[in-house]
Amino acid sequence: MQSVCRPPDSLGGMSSAPDIPWRGPGPGRPDLPLPPGPMPLRRHGQTRKRWRYVAVFAAEAMVCAARAQVGPFTQSFWMLWDRQRGERFANTSIRPGSREVRMRGPNVEIDAKSVSARLEIGESPPVESICPSGSGWGWTRKRAGMPVRGTIEAAGRRIAIEGRGVDDESAGYHRRHTSWLWSAGVGRAVDGRALAWNLVEGINDPPERSERAVWIDGDPHEPAPVAFQGIEAIQFADGSLLSFGEECERVRRENLVLLRSDYRLRFGTFSGGLDGVEVAGGLGVMEQHDALW
């Protein structure tokens, strides 16, 4: 089941809210409880969710780290794919106060039994969007293609990593059942231009003013709605197809009675077309998530 952003006047409790969807940065940001300001635990009958997800994609390795909160429940997770040795490491922690993943501005750290990492994130132009979701809304701020560097230690091996990455900051009062497909990555066009993307179907994806973004040489634009072919490929409105080749996968299912989650994450390579631009090579992530939250 895919959640669909509908016009505010069809959302009952949202009918008197400021005009959304909205896309920035720019003027007219709606006057709603949004980061970096305070957000109540409940709003319009829906529970607050917020998370930050950071990933770096490089020839040596790919790694992601995230912290998430649904109401009072917290979770952190990370995954490392050592591309040179073909080894995968991952863990999820639902312990309150867990410090396995720490995020402070541009600095991201993983401290786990099997893996430690220190990453520093550079700058890239952000895309911000606010979209209706049930009787509430979802906010997100995405950046992609920025430089990321750092060190990783895993299984007695030290990896100096230097690549490009993505940074996803999200929060809101999403509908109770939300299901989506998402991809983010970096690459090069055949003509040498730097590419990065954030593509989604099922969350924050109205026809216009969505979170969808393609960065070309650091300049973001919004493509038309895309169609995911599972987590194998993404088709664009112009007919171009961005194909995915899986290198590793993580599947995790949670059933915490009030909260349920069915999550698949894949790291791998990309080829084909990115909104009409021919891709010489790309690295990134494909994700499928169905959540009752």
Residue 17 in contact with residue 44, Cβ under 8 Å? Answer: no
In whole angstroms, what is the distance from residue 146 CA to residue 28 CA? 27
* pLDDT score at 257: 82
Q: Which residue's structure tokens are 């998370």?
A: 51
DSSP codes of every residue in 226-240: -EEETTTEEE-TTS-
What are the structural domain ranges in the chain? 8-25+35-292
* pLDDT score at 18: 67
In whole angstroms, what is the distance from residue 235 CA to residue 220 CA? 19
* pLDDT score at 293: 94
In whole angstroms, what is the distance from residue 55 CA to residue 183 CA? 12
In whole angstroms, what is the distance from residue 89 CA to residue 56 CA? 15
HSE (side-chain half, CA atoms, 13 Å) at 64: 27
DSSP codes of every residue in 124-181: ---EEEEEEETTEEEEEEEEEEEEEEEEEEETTEEEEEEEEEEEEEEEE---SEEEEE
* pLDDT score at 14: 42
* pLDDT score at 17: 55
DSSP codes of every residue in 92-105: EE--TT--SEEEET
Q: Tens of pLDDT along the chain (293 residues)? A: 333 333 333 333 443 456 899 999 999 999 999 999 999 999 989 999 999 999 999 999 999 999 999 999 999 999 999 999 999 999 999 877 789 999 999 999 999 999 999 999 999 999 999 999 999 999 999 999 999 999 999 999 999 999 999 999 999 999 999 999 999 999 999 999 999 999 999 999 999 999 999 999 999 999 999 999 999 999 999 999 999 999 999 999 989 888 899 999 999 999 999 999 999 999 999 999 999 99
Which tokens belong to 243?
């194909």
DSSP for residue 70 = E
Which tokens belong to 266?
């894949």
* pLDDT score at 178: 96
In whole angstroms, what is the distance from residue 287 CA to residue 203 CA? 13
Distances in Å between the Cα of 266 and the Cα atoms of 9, 95, 178, 183, 232 are: 37, 25, 20, 10, 10
Is the bond leading into 35 cis (omega within 30 degrees of zero)?
A: no
Which tokens belong to 137?
């809304």
Distances in Å between the Cα of 23 and the Cα atoms of 103, 276, 282 are: 25, 23, 26
